[in-house]
Structure 1
Amino acid sequence: MNIQKIEIFSVRFPLKVPFIVSYHRYDDMPSVIVKMTTACGLVGYGEAVADEHVTGESAESTVSVLRHLLAPLLIGKNPMHLEHIHDEMDRAIRGVPAAKAALDIACHDVIGKKLNQPIYEWIGGRYHESFPVTHVLSIGEPNHMAQEALEQMKRGYTAVKMKVGVDVQTDVARVKAVREAVGNDVPIRVDVNQGWVNAANTVQAMRLLEPYGIDWVEQPVKADDFEGILEVKQKISVPLMMDEGLKDVHDMRRLTMMQAAHKANIKLMKCGGIYPAKKLVHMAEMSGIECQIGSMVESSIASSAGFHVAFSSKIVKTVELTGPLRFGKDVGNLSYDLPIISLNDRSGLGIDVDEDVLRELTTESYVVGDESHVAR
């Protein structure tokens, strides 16, 4: 079962409303979809959602790396040889985790179809039956965020994650407004996306937020400031989650050795796919650090991949894979039963990809392998 052809599609997903975080506003979501075909006719799909601020990649650079380097490298390879495939990709180029994730996810989809098993069954077996889905609020005016939070709680959501990180005073006003709207029993998680910059600002903010019962605070300081996030952990009583600062096994080793945070937000786009994500999960579990499988606002393809990691991992306690819920149009049919999600038992990723929609949303595409390097 060797890889015969890899098709690369650069797409833009329409968002129902803009998505705003501390470092950027997204009016639509660029993504790169890969379609992998084996010599025996099996087809697997993968996805890369690059982020210049997090993974150091853009959609354009991802297409280029896939087209000219990584996809040609995989032609003729057995997709089941995941350790070897990742080793070869890492030898070929440092970093570019989203590009590698796209190929990793496609390999897993193919393997699952070959085995006629859902991915979660052979990467650990199903542990969780379902997960509650957290509603994510992008940055806005306090009253608008409060109104949206209240509306979503009425729809059945049981927890809310707030994007903040503009400045301490307005962020406190946002949290205050949301807490007053939803009441004291709804868990509120605060994601700063590095926006408070350093430990001093974060400690000040968290002291002002004490009356509002925050569930946890996520990545308040710059991504590479492990010493800063450790200082915050020592000075606040609210649990602390690391996100942008945690990409690969080297970051996880540093996190676990320093015990710099209570929780780890693992994202397939940051670490290179399903296979490396499971390695990070096991490392975290050995150190007693709870995990979340997070989102880079991916489609049904990469969101499904993240759910397979989550459902097969005991130490994963929460998920925030809500990209498909934000899209006006998606290429896949990942199904949510809000306010929870429970995966089906279909083989591979367990989703269907609508190739008509894929073509509609595609801005450029390439073929590597059969009809090699033909632009369409």
Structure 2
Amino acid sequence: MKIIDIKATPVAVPLKPSMTKSKMRKGPNVVLAVIVQVYTDDGYVGIGETPAVLGLDISTAIVNSTKALLIGEDPRNINLLIKKLYVRYNLTHLHIHLANWAFSGIELALWDIAAQSANMPLYQLWGGAFRKKIEMQGTIERQELSGMTEVASQMVKAGYKTLYTKIGMDPEDDVAAVAAIRKGASSRDVKIRVDANQAWSTGVAINTINKMEQYGIEWVEQPVIMYNIDALLDVKNSVNVPILGHEANWTMYDLINVIKSNAVDYVKLDGRFDAGYTGVRISAGMAEAAGIQCSHHSFYTLGIALAGSLHVIASCPNFSMANSMSEYAGMIDDVITDGPMRMKEVPYMEVPETPGIGVTIDKERLAKYNEFYVKEIFEKGFERETEMPYYTSMYMRTYFKDILN
């Protein structure tokens, strides 16, 4: 079996209107992604999805530029091919995380081909499933406090057992937001998670987390800058609320240092952030060896990447906590056949069972949302201006408060 072509298609798929307001947010509320299709001489077509962190123009160009290196290769030599891309693009001199923004869609497409050719769902190729129903958290956007209370109440009534929101802009407002969520989800059986995205100094983190403790927090995600693991450990040792690492353990190469430092209680992982889907499964294994439970991350995801994540969660034993599908719950449509993947029973997503990653591309939808991207994003200059402001600035939030709010 040989690769005969690779196609990269940038798309913009609309989301429901956002409740979070920011001077930084411009253009339509969309999920941006590059849809990757890898074709083989045996007739298989593998599909993947690359996120838009660097901009779709850059990601599309990188995916297209791999043709010279991948055409003629056996698509099942996945680990070798991805490592060769890292080396040939000189990305061993940069952070592997940067490389994987573009390469993750290619790798998922290769895994799709491998599982299709083996006539089994991807999770079986990866050794079988520990779970077929994947619990998801309910994400609550930052908005007026009354709105957060109402959304929390609605989500609990719908069946969600875990609620999540972004924090890290203003400590007093953050504590008030958590209190508002707990007001709408009064039962302590409902877990609350908060994500600071590295925004706090050590002292501010400790002080703020201690104020939040009364509301019953399952964990605080990445309270301090990712580069200072000692600070992360200081926070962990100074509060009663568990600490989850994310940016500090983006890749398996980072995670080893977080584990050795005993700096976190839990970790959040994602194949599009790690050293690929192979890397995220290695990271999960390392965390398992350290006795650490995992939750899966999500970031502006369409159904192709979500399907890949479900197979990761299913096949790794210690993805034993509720996971994120983030903005996907607000998708109006998708590029996959039959539109967005939906829950049959809240809060669970089911792992696709057909060979490969278990979803297929709807050609008409793909063309429609490629055209939408070109006309409404690229031509209007919104290529890098549609991201969630609570995520974008991370540890620089305090420097940009005036323009973020």
TM-score, normalization by structure 1: 0.90
Q: Could you tell me whether the CA contact under 8 Å between 1:8 and 1:35 is conserved in 2?
A: yes
Q: Which among 80, 87, 97 is matched to residue 84 of structure 1? A: 80
Q: Pairwise CA RMSD of aligned residues?
A: 2.0
Alignment equivalent of 2:62, drawn from 62, 65, 68: 65
Q: Deviations over 1:2-58 (max 9, x none)?
A: 11111101111211122759997582221111011111110111001132xxxxx33
Q: Does 1:126 align with 2:129?
A: yes
2:325 aligned residue = 321
Gaps of 5+ in 1: 52-56, 366-376
Give the superposition deviation at 1:271: 1.2
Code of the aligned partner of 1:74: L
Counterpart Cα distance in 1 of 2:259 and 2:231: 15
Aligned 1:248-263 pairs, distance under 5 A: 248-263=251-266
Normalised TM-score (structure 2): 0.84
Query: What residue in structure 2 maps to residue 30 of structure 1?
Result: 32
Q: Which runs of 4+ in 1 moved over 4 A?
A: 19-26
d(CA) in 1 for partners of 2:270 and 2:19?
18
Q: 2:196 aligns with which of 184, 192, 196?
A: 192
1:277 to 254, 271, 280: 280
CA distance in 1, matches of 2:6, 2:179: 49
Instruction: State which of 261, 267, 270 in structure 2 corresponds to 1:267.
Output: 270
Q: Structure 2: which 5+ runs fail to align?
A: 92-97, 375-405
* Residues 10, 32 of structure 1: 8 Å contact kept: yes
1:310-332 Cα deviation digits (max 9, x unpaired):
00111111321244322111112
CA 1:308–1:20 in structure 2 vs 1: closer, same or farther (change >3 Å)? farther
Alignment of 1:1-376 (within 5 A): 1-18=1-18, 20=20, 25=25, 27-51=29-53, 57-68=54-65, 70-93=66-89, 94=91, 95-185=98-188, 186-196=190-200, 198-318=201-321, 319-332=323-336, 333=339, 334-337=341-344, 338-363=346-371
Partner of 2:395: none
> Which residue number in structure 1 is paired with residue 383 of structure 2?
none
Aligned length: 358
Local SS of the residue matching 1:271: coil
Query: Is the alpha carbon distance of 1:62 and 1:272 closer, same or farther for their aligned partners in structure 2, counting shifts above 3 Å?
Result: farther
String of CA shifts for 1:80-103, please: whole Å, max 9, x gaps.
Answer: 111211210110231321211000
Q: d(CA) in 1 for partners of 2:266 and 2:22?
A: 21
- Select between 165-174 and 317-326 the one with higher mean Cα deviation: 317-326
Alignment deviations for residues 197-227 of structure 1 (CA, whole Å, 9 cap, x no partner): x211110111111210101110111222212
Distance 2:30 2:5 in 1: 29
Q: Please give the secondary structure, in 2, of the residue aligned with 1:131.
A: strand
- Cα distance change of structure 1 residues 19 and 221 upon mapping to structure 2, 3 Å threshold: farther
Distance 1:71 1:161, change over 3 A: farther
The percent identity for this pair of structures is: 26
The amino acid of 2:115's aligned partner reads: G
Q: String of CA shifts for 1:222-242, please: whole Å, max 9, x gaps.
A: 222212111111111111111
